[in-house]
Amino acid sequence: MQRYVTVATCLASLVAAQTYTFPDCVNGPLASNKVCDRLATPSERAAALVAALEPTEKLQNIIRSAKGAPRIGLPAYNWWNEALHGVAYSPNVTFADEPPFDSATSFPMPLLMAATFDDELIERVGDIVGKEARAWGNYGYSGIDFWTPNVNPFRDPRWGRGSETPGEDALQVSRYAAAMVRGLEGYKSERRIVATCKHYAGNDFEDWGGSTRHDFDAKITLQDLAEYHLLPFQQCARDSKVGSIMCAYNAVNGVPSCANEYLLQTVLREHWNWTENNNHVTSDCEAVYDVWGNHHYASSNAEGTAMCFNAGTDNSCEYQVSSDIPGAWEQGLLTEDVVDRSLLRSFEALVHAGYFDGAHSAYATLNASDVNTPEAQDLALQTAVDGIVLLKNDEDTLPLDLSPGANIAMIGFWASDSSKVIGGYSGNPPFTRSPAYAAEDMGFTVHSATGPVLESNDAPDNWTADALAAAEKSDYILYFGGLDTSAAGEEKDRYSLEWPEAQRTLLGALSGLSKPLVVVQLGDQLDDTELLEMKEINSIMWASWPGQDGGTAVMKLITGAASPAGRLPVTQYPASYADAIPLTDMNLRPSGSYPGRTYRWYLTPVQGYGFGLHYTTFKPSFGSSPASLSIQELVAECEMPYPDTCPLPPLHVKVANEGKRISDYVALAFIAGEFGPEPYPIKTLGAYARLRGIEPGTDAEAELAWKLGDLARRDEDGNTVLYPGTYTVMLDEPVKATMEFELTGEPAILDKWPAPN
């Protein structure tokens, strides 16, 4: 949902201070209810509360804007709170007019965070967002559940919401989910906030070619479903035991996700053992209505509504249109047992977050001094610096060796517009800094000119005249182009992967000046082929949406105050890809003229997943590793309930910094081999780590952790299987070192995937 933003923004200025209260477990009528008894078990506490509710009250509490029950002192609770990369505008998040709850730290978009390939960093970001979010809740400015993270893998470059995700690789998305959920929910038995992994499942397009997410039926093979679309949710539910999952708008193989018993019951609650009642499933907003209204899967709204609750959705997010809970109840389609099940799950999730514990909650003391801390602001900057990817750097043009006061032309639509760096699903950051602001702050003389985002009605000469005037006064030209959120966002997919014509024209004019020319690209990937070929363009950097301090991050890298080490978390496709494959075709594997998707199957990218240049020269190599491992021994030694989570002997890697600058290095280990159900010459990510601060002339070593599941493949039924064979492990993109090892013995099923009925 995006349309609410304007509504929420208006509300924020009308609603005075506190809009939200915790239950009063000391003096209120609820104090005598067992839900307030901290010595009882969470499920006893939730059960006592549900038992005290009348049927009418029950029905008013399985919706997003839950009414509570004033009769017994249960306050209203609104489940819709957002915090994708910082506390964000949403119906129940308020930004006050005055400090301290007027602004929250805004990190880069998740796609750029993923480009750091640093799980520990992601977890620290989650920890800060979780602290700020709970402080928000403690002081009445939000609820204590938040609809983050978005863990649908970025399947197609045109998807408008891809930058909300950690990229196209299912293993990377899963590791991001693990780190982010751990950070957000905190480190005590109580949850600091209830995190929500979304959108379950297969929600990775908005509105394209006559279909929308509200009526789309995603046809997904069991192999792709288990291996790709559901892997991050397995991490969230089974391994991270996240507090909440959001079911998606779209249908999967004919059944709308929120009415999908196979997804919500068979896989989520049974196969992944997400059984305890301390978690719940919320619907995306209007997804319950969509079952009848857009999927036509039910004969009435009431029937569609009942199907969702019966299948395992526990809360209906109503927005501009509503589901029909009263109708479902009156017609006997929705029983009290099912309503109680939903209430028990939802209230127990709140019990687990200390909602009924007042000052005794483990997180009751989080407050304004935990918001916008210097540590948080440093981390927002560091995350952007660490994520930004250097895509071209001919003749080591970057870093620019700028003398104090150097004249720099800063041209393009976001050169001096600080509102552009934030990205979607944002709140109100304490500040936003454009590149021009940062350059002036560093003492340079900036000559700025704006530029077009998309095609513009103005004659190209209009932009060009200003730009050339700025460039002529300068010794260096920095061009800030790419896409802003008007080109790709919620309810908006792209049709083209080309650089906008108006920007190419402007760049063409600038390239005629024979001055160092650096392109810094905002937003999602574009086909850079032409820019990579143009000799006049010396360097290209991709900055995604770099967050509140994005301008500073860019200038630190351009001046060499920091060294780039981010890697692409997505494939950069040629523009022709958009004609070769419909966005709505979910298949990942190539067949005939169908080119396949992601680096695993699409082999001719412009720049590959994992690509990224440095200011120094790294030489990576493998250390010693076992030449052969027995599958049966690995499995026999494994003591975890889920064998795919058992560790493999770590991969030993070494990297020498043979250049002149200190830099981080992201070690990426891919695996390939031909085994299993398909000849499989294609590589998959197996392990990665970010090695920090490697000094010139020194070596760094690391043990990359990986698990049996990272080596396994999914067969056509979705089973996770470890196959015998020769495995090639490859370091880096493009490959800089290889190593082989043998898995011996018989194939072993690590996880038997449940078949749909």
Among residues 6, 32, 41, 275, the one that binds ligand NAG under rule CB under 6 A: 275
Q: Which two tokens stand for residue 372?
A: 């916008």
Task: Tell me which residue of 295, 290, 194 sits closest to 245, measured CA to CA.
Answer: 194
Mark 225-264 with x for binding to ligand NAG (rule: CB under 6 A) and - for no binding.
----------------------------------------
Determine, following the binding rule CB under 6 A, whether residue 94 of this chain makes contact with ligand NAG.
Answer: yes
Q: Closest separation between CB of residue 457 and ligand NAG, Å?
A: 8
Q: Which is nearer to ligand NAG, 33 or 464 (CB)?
A: 464
Among residues 97, 270, 276, 678, the one that binds ligand NAG under rule CB under 6 A: 276
Q: What is the DSSP track for 509-532?
A: HHGGG-S-EEEEEESS----HHHH
Mark 4-23 with x for binding to ligand NAG (rule: CB under 6 A) and - for no binding.
-------x---x---xx---
Can you tell me whether residue 429 is helix, strand or coil? coil
Q: Which is nearer to ligand NAG, 320 or 369 (CB)?
A: 369
Q: Closest separation between CB of residue 315 and ligand NAG, Å?
A: 13
Which range of residues in 272-280, 293-301, 504-512, 674-682 is near ligand NAG by CB under 6 A? Answer: 272-280
Under rule CB under 6 A, which residues in 19-48 are in contact with ligand NAG? 19-20
List residues bridging with 668 in a β-sheet: 688
Dist CA 173 CA 328 (whole Å): 37
Task: Tell me which residue of 751, 746, 739, 744 sits closest to 713, measured CA to CA.
Answer: 751
Q: Which is nearer to ligand NAG, 136 or 723 (CB)?
A: 136
Q: Where are the beta strands (DSSP E) in 366-509?
A: 389-393, 407-411, 445-449, 476-482
Task: Tell me which residue of 321, 332, 320 sits closest to 293, measured CA to CA.
Answer: 321
Query: How many residues touch ligand NAG (CB under 6 A)?
Result: 22
Q: Closest separation between CB of residue 192 and ligand NAG, Å?
A: 13
Q: Closest separation between CB of residue 641 and ligand NAG, Å?
A: 4
The answer to whether the beta carbons of residues 143 and 205 sit under 8 Å apart is no
Q: Which is nearer to ligand NAG, 276 or 401 (CB)?
A: 276
Q: Which is nearer to ligand NAG, 15 or 656 (CB)?
A: 15
The answer to whether the beta carbons of residues 598 and 571 sit under 8 Å apart is yes
List residues bridging with 751 in a β-sheet: 720
Question: Nearest 5°: CA angle at 173, between 148 and 692?
Answer: 105
Question: Nearest 5°: CA angle at 355, between 350 and 357?
Answer: 130
Closest chain position to ligand NAG (CB): 78
Determine, following the binding rule CB under 6 A, whether residue 733 of this chain makes contact with ligand NAG.
Answer: no
Under rule CB under 6 A, which residues in 163-222 are in contact with ligand NAG? none
Q: Which is nearer to ligand NAG, 8 or 438 (CB)?
A: 8
List residues bridging with 690 in a β-sheet: 666
Under rule CB under 6 A, which residues in 349-408 are in contact with ligand NAG? 365, 367, 369-370
Task: Tell me which residue of 613, 619, 622 sits closest to 698, measured CA to CA.
Answer: 619
The answer to whether the beta carbons of residues 356 and 36 sit under 8 Å apart is yes
Q: Closest separation between CB of residue 353 and ligand NAG, Å?
A: 16
Q: Which is nearer to ligand NAG, 21 or 632 (CB)?
A: 21
Q: Closest separation between CB of residue 461 and ligand NAG, Å?
A: 8
Classify burial at 668, counting beta carbons within 10 Å of its beta carbon; exposed 0-12, middle 13-18, buried 19 or more: buried
Q: Which is nearer to ligand NAG, 32 or 275 (CB)?
A: 275
Q: Which two tokens stand for residue 28?
A: 């209120």
Under rule CB under 6 A, which residues in 635-654 are in contact with ligand NAG? 641
Which range of residues in 187-195, 269-277, 286-294, 623-631 is near ligand NAG by CB under 6 A? Answer: 269-277
Contacts of 374 (CB under 8 A, 6+ apart): none
Q: Closest separation between CB of residue 373 and ligand NAG, Å?
A: 9
Q: Which is nearer to ligand NAG, 109 or 129 (CB)?
A: 129
Under rule CB under 6 A, which residues in 61-90 are in contact with ligand NAG? 65, 76, 78
Determine, following the binding rule CB under 6 A, whether residue 91 of this chain makes contact with ligand NAG.
Answer: yes
Determine, following the binding rule CB under 6 A, whether residue 617 of this chain makes contact with ligand NAG.
Answer: no
Check residue 419 and report its DSSP letter. Answer: G
Task: Encode burial over 280-309: b for 16+ CB neighbours within 10 A, e otherwise.
Answer: bbbbbbbbbbbbbbbbebbeebbbbbbbbb
Q: Which is nearer to ligand NAG, 51 or 465 (CB)?
A: 465
Residue 479: CA count within 13 A, CB half-sphere? 32
Q: Based on C-alpha coordinates, what's the Rg of the chain?
A: 26
List residues bridging with 542 in a β-sheet: 389, 521
Determine, following the binding rule CB under 6 A, whether residue 313 of this chain makes contact with ligand NAG.
Answer: no
Asked whether the CA dihedral 260, 261, 262, 267 is positive or negative, the reply is: positive
The answer to whether the beta carbons of residues 206 and 491 sit under 8 Å apart is yes
Which range of residues in 101-109, 186-194, 261-269, 271-279 is near ligand NAG by CB under 6 A? Answer: 271-279
Q: Closest separation between CB of residue 465 and ligand NAG, Å?
A: 5
Q: Which two tokens stand for residue 458?
A: 């103005």
Among residues 92, 244, 382, 571, the one that binds ligand NAG under rule CB under 6 A: 92
Dist CA 79 CA 718 (whole Å): 34
List residues bridging with 647 in a β-sheet: 707
Q: Which is nearer to ligand NAG, 11 or 40 (CB)?
A: 11
Q: Closest separation between CB of residue 615 and ligand NAG, Å?
A: 36
Q: What is the DSSP track for 274-315?
A: --STT-EEEE-TTHHHHHHHTT--SSSHHHHHHHHHHHT--B
Q: Closest separation between CB of residue 437 and ligand NAG, Å?
A: 21
Under rule CB under 6 A, which residues in 456-485 are in contact with ligand NAG? 458, 462, 465-466
Q: Closest separation between CB of residue 41 and ligand NAG, Å?
A: 13
Q: Closest separation between CB of residue 79 and ligand NAG, Å?
A: 9
Q: Which is nearer to ligand NAG, 93 or 629 (CB)?
A: 93
The set of catalytic residues is 284
Classify burial at 319, counting beta carbons within 10 Å of its beta carbon; exposed 0-12, middle 13-18, buried 19 or more: middle
What is the contact surface with ligand NAG in residues (CB under 6 A)? 11, 15, 19-20, 65, 76, 78, 91-92, 94, 273, 275-276, 365, 367, 369-370, 458, 462, 465-466, 641
